[in-house]
Structure 1
Amino acid sequence: GKGIFGYKKITEWEKNKPFVLDKSLLKWNSDSDKIPRSICKEECGIGEVKQGDHCCWVCVKCEENQYVDINKCIKCPQGFGPNENKTSCLKLTIEFMTFNSPFTLIPIIFSTLGIILTIYIIYIFIRYNETPIIKASGRELCYVLLAGILASYLVTFFLVTKPNFASCLLLRFGFSTSLTICLSALFTKTNRLSRIFNNSIKQVRQASYVSPKSQLVICGSIISVQVVAIFIWISISPPGTSFDYDDPKRVILQCKTQNTHLAVSFLYNFFLVILCTIYAIKTRKIPENFNEARFIGFTMYSICIIWVAFIPIYFGTTAAAGTSKSPKNNYKIQLTTMAMCLSLSATVILFCLFVPKIRVVVLKPNKNVRSKSTLNKSSFKSNTQYKNSKVVLQSKCPGNFEKSLTVATVASSNSTTSSPVSAKTLIIFNLLSLNYKQSCLKVQVGNKN
């Protein structure tokens, strides 16, 4: 039934006598013997302020970068954050990549191994510079390519070190230019093969600008476009350091880099990747002895996959910075991803184009010899008019040079191919690979010059 309310004596108070309360006589409207607090409302917690009248109020939480001062939320200045009790501001620790972090150690170890391997390959190329395998690979462009690979590995150290003016300046040049050097050398290689073998089918006149000097000029011109773009970028936005305050609890020291300028650099390199891939496809059916294009093609496919994966990771973490979805180590993820993408691209080029050559030079020296005829029989499938013909090479330059070759029996007359390669073209390419000047040669196959 209903409870009966009434008065009950629980204590007495007299002047000059202590006040004694017998708690056992108290009966509260709960199962606990704890005395309820007689207040209007509980006090606000840490980082909260009161809103309302003096007896009935609402506690409102301050923002992450604010502290409480006389029942007001006060914002801390940039570079400062509230202390644990939210009563004042403290200077935040400046963050940057450190060498004891896994985000730094992994790319540094990977790049260091790559640098050691690259230097070893450069040493092998210099030591065996005059051997047939090295000569036939196009030594000049190979050295350019190795320089680009070495630069790609070195960029990692500028990415993970503490930002300063020098490192930020070198990073702008190194990050874009290192990959451009590699791609320009690959493009020049595939373009040269395409012009020599494919154009000769349509034209009697041999391809021009295929000498080593011409190749270096073409390669340097392609690289210069990226270099000029970087100088323009520097003039518009000088390199230096800045602080990132997107996260109110953190201050990140970083290089001043705008994503727009970085995207333009990516587009140019991506354009070179597309060109290299197109030319690699165009030259995929050239004779086996000269077909480095298939390895270049595989290299381009791999580089495309690497950088297509990089773009959403880098720009995705940039867009999420300062939001609730932003990962705690977003800037570390960005820098580590950039370093690993460059290193992986360099590694793919190194293993696809150089390791097979080094394997022959070092482990199979018996194959590193000039054969009596480096022409491949499959190259003459549709050139049966040269069957058992005599090939005469005469020098038009000062000096005595005359060499005769006999073309071996070719495929049967019913063998066909969609893109025949002339015997004259193959002979000239053989001599060019041995550093003979095309302008000094007169080639005669049968009765044709």
Structure 2
Amino acid sequence: MLSQQMEDMQWPLGERAVPSSVCSLPCRPGERKKVVKGMACCWHCEPCDGYQYQLNEFTCKLCSYNMRPDANRTACQPIPITQLDWSSAWAVVPVLLAMLGIIATMFVMATFLRHNDTPIVRASGRELSYVLLTGIFLCYIITFLMIAKPDVGVCSFRRIFLGLGMCISYAALLTKTNRIYRIFEQGKRSVTAPRLISPTSQLAITSSLISVQLLGVLVWFGVDPPNIIIDYEEQKTINPDLARGVLKCDTTDLQLICSLGYSILLMVTCTVYAIKTRGVPENFNEAKPIGFTMYTTCIVWLAFIPIFFGTAQSTEKQQQVVGSDSFKQEHVGTSRRGAEPVEQQGRSLDSRVLFTLQLYIQTTTLTISMNLSASVALGMLYLPKVYVILFHPELNVQKRKRSFKAVVTVATMSTRLSHKARPNGEAKTELCDNMDADSK
């Protein structure tokens, strides 16, 4: 009589337990059955990958555009929404710069108002100075609108003030430099002062330049009313766990640049006039400080364009690479779930940091560029005047009035003498002698 000792049986791979007499094991959650052709009771288990979830035991289905599969891939869940947070380091730096700039601007404006009738304030063109300080103030204010949570109101104010602050600033500076240029060009041909150089005329010219920007914004409002969107495609990585929706205003990068385009045109034109008036004596106008301001501002905005577009594209590519690596590590080899490797956890963490960089870089770059532009104008044009007003009031005195002809004659003389090599201050002496002669 035969007897079978099961405990002594040897099975493949050294197994001691009796193997199951089935063709295929049940599939785990998130896997579909792929039936083997010709064998109805046999199948292969295939995971639902990407943005698919398990609809039934034989089918995987793609989640909708604003959804992603859950941890078990048995259903879909909403994709998290992200935005630039006030506590983020990307927001703290521009906000700090903006707050310092606002305090400095208000201090300068208060100083000018308190000493409104002093010679330095009058010589700097009080009316245009206050217009320029208003534009600088708006350049700082836009930082808070760019970081605030987008809604219809915030998006509307962004459209209005994004280019308006720069437009007001450079319209005032362009009017100043154009006035200086016309005065000394007219003086070379005639002793008659040019037209439209009075404070009222200067304000009218500046207002007309600003109205072009406002008209463009009104047309933009009529053609495309402001709205908010949640962009799911921009931050949709290969690994759905890293996908995020970006809450933002319905404004494209092209529309953003077009909004700033008119202000940049004013800036370039002002720089051209600053170059033309660079030889005018510093005693008679602000040509040289305006020139240094415009040169520095042009450098800031030349650096802004490649950073705004180039860095964002580079970050997007890096996101895709990291997301692809995480996805591969998750599915290579056995599909059994276990502890996530430390290296993979680090990659996933890096991915979660990278997916918001494009939004952060563009917003931070734009706000810092505007803050720097405003700070350059404030520092070079007004801080020296405030220093003299507060700490050297003895220099804030009325100088001898000279006729229009005398001023232009001295300017022409200084230009000629600057091209001559005069040792031991001879050129300066000759210029001073001519100034005294012309004044008399």
Q: TM-score range by the shorter chain?
A: 0.7 to 0.9
Aligned to 1:365: 393
Equivalent residue for 1:304, pick from 295, 298, 301: 298
Task: Determine whether 1:328 maps to 2:315.
Answer: no
CA distance in 1, matches of 2:19, 2:300: 65
Task: Determine whether 1:171 maps to 2:197.
Answer: no
1:345 to partner: Cα distance: 0.9
Distance 1:217 1:45, change over 3 A: farther
Task: Determine whether 1:95 maps to 2:61.
Answer: no
1:244 to partner: Cα distance: 0.7
1:226 to partner: Cα distance: 0.9
Q: How many residues align?
A: 378
Contact 1:51 1:57 (C-alpha < 8 Å) held by counterparts: yes
User: Alignment identity in percent?
Assistant: 36
Give the residue type in structure 2 aligned to 1:121. V
1:40 to partner: Cα distance: 6.9
1:127 to partner: Cα distance: 0.2
Equivalent residue for 2:184, pick from 192, 197, 200: 197
CA distance in 2, matches of 1:274, 1:83: 53
Q: Which moved more, 1:204-213 or 1:167-176?
A: 204-213
Contact 1:12 1:20 (C-alpha < 8 Å) held by counterparts: no
Matches within 5 A, 1:347-426: 347-372=375-400, 379=411, 381=413
Structure 2 gaps of 5+ residues are 237-242, 321-353, 417-424
Cα deviation 1:98-131 (Å, max 9, x = unaligned): 2222122221111111111110111000000111
1:364 to partner: Cα distance: 1.2
1:26 to partner: Cα distance: 3.5
Give the residue type in structure 1 aligned to 2:413. K
CA distance in 2, matches of 1:222, 1:358: 28
Contact 2:48 2:54 (C-alpha < 8 Å) held by counterparts: no
Equivalent residue for 2:67, pick from 67, 70, 80: 80
SS at match of 1:176: helix
Contact 1:284 1:291 (C-alpha < 8 Å) held by counterparts: no
Q: Output the TM-score relative to the length of structure 1.
A: 0.74
Higher RCO (CA < 8 A, seq sep 6+)? 2
Aligned to 2:337: none
Contact 1:121 1:354 (C-alpha < 8 Å) held by counterparts: yes
Contact 2:83 2:149 (C-alpha < 8 Å) held by counterparts: yes
Aligned to 2:131: 144
Give the residue type in structure 1 aligned to 2:133. L
CA distance in 1, matches of 2:87, 2:261: 34
Q: Output the TM-score relative to the length of structure 2.
A: 0.76
Task: Determine whether 1:68 maps to 2:32.
Answer: no
Distance 1:34 1:113, change over 3 A: farther
CA distance in 1, matches of 2:254, 2:226: 15
Contact 1:378 1:411 (C-alpha < 8 Å) held by counterparts: no
SS at match of 1:284: coil
Matches within 5 A, 1:28-67: 49=32, 51=34, 53=36, 55=42, 57=44, 59=46, 62-63=49-50, 65-67=51-53
Q: RMSD of the TM alignment (CA)? A: 3.5
Give the residue type in structure 2 aligned to 1:296. I
Distance 1:263 1:372, change over 3 A: closer
Aligned to 1:228: 215
Aligned to 2:147: 160
CA distance in 1, matches of 2:164, 2:184: 30
Select the structure that is richer in helix. Answer: 2
1:344 to partner: Cα distance: 1.2
Task: Determine whether 1:21 maps to 2:49.
Answer: no
1:292 to partner: Cα distance: 1.7
Contact 1:381 1:415 (C-alpha < 8 Å) held by counterparts: no
SS at match of 2:149: coil
Contact 2:160 2:217 (C-alpha < 8 Å) held by counterparts: yes
Give the residue type in structure 2 aligned to 1:231. L
SS at match of 1:130: coil
Larger radius of gyration: 1
Structure 1 gaps of 5+ residues are 1-10, 14-18, 385-409, 417-421, 428-444
Give the residue type in structure 2 aligned to 1:62. D
Equivalent residue for 1:343, pick from 371, 384, 393: 371
Task: Determine whether 1:271 maps to 2:258.
Answer: no
1:187 to partner: Cα distance: 0.5
Aligned to 1:16: none
Aligned to 2:196: 209
CA distance in 2, matches of 1:187, 1:36: 91
Task: Determine whether 1:105 maps to 2:92.
Answer: yes
Contact 1:184 1:219 (C-alpha < 8 Å) held by counterparts: yes
Cα deviation 1:223-272 (Å, max 9, x = unaligned): 11111111111111101211111134212211111333222223222211
